[in-house]
Amino acid sequence: MKLSFQKQVRLALLYFLIAAAFGVILRSFQVFNLNFNYRFIVHGHSHIAILGWVYVCVTVLFNKLFIQKTNKIHREYVGIFIATQISLLGMLITFPFQGYAFLSITFSTLFLLVSYGFCWFFIKNIKVEIKSLICYPYLKASLFYLVLSSIGPWALGGIMATLGPTSIWYRLSIYFYLHFQYNGWMFFAILGILLFIVESHSITFSRRYHKIFFIIINISVVATFFLSTLWTEPIGMVYVLSALGAMLQIVCFGYAVLWIKNHSTTINTIFKGTPKLLLQIVLGVLGIKLFLQFLGSFPYFAKVGASIIELTLAYLHGVFLGLVSISLFLILSITGYSKLTVKKMCVYLIGFLLTESLLVYKGMMILNKKSSIIANYYEYLLIASTILFLGIAIIFLKEKAPLKNLPVNRLNLSKHEIKSQDKRKDNLQNHGPVS
């Protein structure tokens, strides 16, 4: 069975469009009298956004960029891809109408098992030359966090059966899943792909400082999970660990920005035009995220974030729509799938900024104990969500690259190039951290 790269990416974008449509429906509940179960739609919205759009897009890119190309391996991938689509289609049909029930749990369980299969498939069939690159540990770490995050869904069944949905462990298991999805699986996958793209343009790294960076960033990912537990008002040490994790991530971010600045000439040749703008947006959103994480390690701000749902939603949507999704648009643009322009991205960016602004506005009104908000607030929020949906629709419908000569096909390093880069990297062993 022939599965083209373009069709697979378009399927991922279709899931994103469907998730956005669910978002519009959710915003319509406060405006119209809809005969749907709000909670069920939330489940469908979140599952299709995270597992449909992001997971499918990342695994398609992983297969395109890093997996060996043989008929046997391709057949294995097709089997995994089809099984993934069956599970996603099942969740798409069942979650909006029954929430967590036998069929939806069956399909979500199937998805988890298939995702384990993809992890094994990737490790077993990755190109040999990729293993000597700086990006390789990040790719492996992303899969590790993908598996680790699945402990959350597995735990939910037992918690529901024994302690019930009102238990703190129910909420903690969901936060565990979301944290290691966003900050582990998605973050390391995107970073690994971007590092591969950079290495494909013969930019070298100091291996010694890279190892230190990699260790620190992993420690920070684990430590910042405790930010998601502060609403339980734990012992003081948990606050210390949370703050430590947040500070370590800020240090790593500062190092990365300094490295980009030090290699600005070469970086500007890789990220030019729209990709450059998207990279700047991603770095800006990431900087805001890290600052908010640090604030959230203090008891007052932790309590505010946990008690005001609008601020929580603004943060989660900001990370998903502003950091993860725009990073994927950036990668798709560089690989040549999507011929994005600033003009064509405007609708998406306007919708994103409007929804974030309105959510933060209401959250701040609640924080300042204001009894009333602007008239027609929910109508404005619905309009903003509709604009966001239209922005994704434009990307889905208009951004179709030619079927041949994609730049992604040229993002492959020969063994000779790998050896040459290894020699240069070895020469950097004793150089400074921003060499």
Q: Please, are residues 225 and 179 in contact by the beta-carbon 8 Å criterion?
A: yes
pLDDT digits (tens, 9 = 90+) for 113-157: 999 999 999 999 999 999 999 999 999 999 999 999 999 999 988
pLDDT digits (tens, 9 = 90+) for 13-38: 999 999 999 999 999 999 998 888 99
Most confident of the following: 70-79, 266-275, 335-344: 70-79
Backbone φ and ψ of 237, nearest 5°: -60, -30
241 vs 107: CA distance, rounded Å: 36
171 vs 164: CA distance, rounded Å: 10
Task: Give the range among 193-207, 304-318, 394-408, 416-430 with minimum mean pLDDT.
Answer: 416-430
Check residue 433 and give its pLDDT: 38
248 vs 240: CA distance, rounded Å: 12
Task: Give the range among 34-38, 173-177, 241-245 with minimum mean pLDDT.
Answer: 34-38
410: exposed, middle or buried (C-beta count within 10 Å: 0-12, 13-18, 19+)?
Answer: exposed
Q: Please, are residues 97 and 44 in contact by the beta-carbon 8 Å criterion?
A: no
pLDDT, averaged across the chain: 89
More confident residue, 196 or 208: 196
318 vs 329: CA distance, rounded Å: 15
For residues 401-406, average pLDDT: 46
Q: Please, are residues 277 and 258 in contact by the beta-carbon 8 Å criterion?
A: no
Check residue 100 and give its pLDDT: 87
Q: Please, are residues 418 and 133 in contact by the beta-carbon 8 Å criterion?
A: yes
Which residues lie closer than 8 Å to 116 by C-beta, 6 or more apart? 147, 150
Token readout for 142 is: 């992303």
Choose among 20, 135, 37: nearest CA to 95: 37
274 vs 299: CA distance, rounded Å: 40
pLDDT range class, residue 435, cuts 50, 70, 90: very low
pLDDT digits (tens, 9 = 90+) for 97-115: 998 889 999 999 999 999 9
For residues 355-370, average pLDDT: 93
Q: Please, are residues 42 and 26 in contact by the beta-carbon 8 Å criterion?
A: yes
Question: Which residue is associated with the tokens 């399927």?
Answer: 11
Which residues lie closer than 8 Å to 222 by C-beta, 6 or more apart? 245
* Whether pLDDT at 280 is above 50: yes
* Whether pLDDT at 428 is above 90: no
The span from the first CA to the last CA of the chain, in angstroms, equals: 46
Question: Which residue is associated with the tokens 């920070």?
Answer: 220
Q: Please, are residues 403 and 6 in contact by the beta-carbon 8 Å criterion?
A: yes
To the nearest 10°, report the CA torsion of 318, 321, 323, 329.
-160
156 vs 371: CA distance, rounded Å: 37
Per-residue H/E/C for the chain? CCCCHHHHHHHHHHHHHHHHHHHHHHHHCCCCCCCCCHHHHHHHHHHHHHHHHHHHHHHHHHHHHHECCCHHHHHHHHHHHHHHHHHHHHHHHHHHHHCCCHHHHHHHHHHHHHHHHHHHHHHHHECHHHHHCCHHHHHHHHHHHHHHHCHHHHHHHHHHHHCCCCCHHHHHHHHHHHHHHHHHHHHHHHHHHHHHHHHHCCCCCCHHHHHHHHHHHHHHHHHHHHHHHHHHCCCHHHHHHHHHHHHHHHHHHHHHHHHHHHCHHHHHHHCCCHHHHHHHHHHHHHHHHHHHHHHHCCHHHHHHHHHCHHHHHHHHHHHHHHHHHHHHHHHHHHHCCCCCCHHHHHHHHHHHHHHHHHHHHHHHHHHCCCCCCCCCHHHHHHHHHHHHHHHHHHHHHHCCCCCCCCHHHHCCCCHHHHHHHHHHHHHCCCCCCCC
* Whether pLDDT at 176 is above 80: yes
To the question of pTM greater than 0.85 for the whole model, the response is yes
Check residue 434 and give its pLDDT: 39
Check residue 414 and give its pLDDT: 47
